[in-house]
């Protein structure tokens, strides 16, 4: 799969696992999901958030459309376009911007007067 030399290496391909839908579509479909499904979804989200926060990554646009789902009810967090990485233990004001994607999913401290630039 690798070219014979670095000079011939021109293209990079990234292959991801197939995720057929997103959490927004799952919720919108209004299928009768059991409490166990909800618990499994919540557990996966908590694990994913714990993982990225342990790496000092702040997603900043977490919403149902940015959570992919597959037929096995496995979830993957996606769209890290607005994410920020902290190289300290505490994020500073430089991380936050005036506009962080979807208003309805913003943290309360960003919407209220609790946060100052």
Q: Which sequence positions are flagged as catalytic?
A: 61
What is the distance between the alpha carbons of residues 53 and 57, in angstroms, rounded to a whole number?
5
- Cross-sheet strand order for the sheet of 75-77: 21-22, 67-69, 75-77
- Would you say 95 and 84 are in contact if contact means Cβ atoms under 8 Å apart? yes
Q: CB neighbours (10 Å) of residue 41?
A: 19
- Would you say 73 and 39 are in contact if contact means Cβ atoms under 8 Å apart? no
């Amino acid at each position: 799969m690798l070219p014979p030399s670095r000079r011939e290496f021109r293209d990079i391909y990234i292959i991801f696992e197939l995720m057929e839908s997103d959490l927004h579509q799952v919720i919108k479909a209004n299928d009768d999901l059991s409490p166990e499904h909800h618990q499994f979804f919540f557990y996966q989200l908590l694990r994913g958030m714990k993982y990225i926060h342990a790496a000092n990554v702040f997603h900043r646009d977490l919403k149902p459309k940015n959570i992919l789902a597959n037929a096995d009810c496995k979830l993957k967090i996606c769209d890290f376009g607005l994410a920020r990485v902290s190289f300290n233990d505490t994020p500073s004001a430089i991380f936050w911007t005036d506009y962080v994607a979807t208003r309805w999913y913003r943290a309360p401290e960003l919407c209220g007067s609790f946060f100052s630039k």
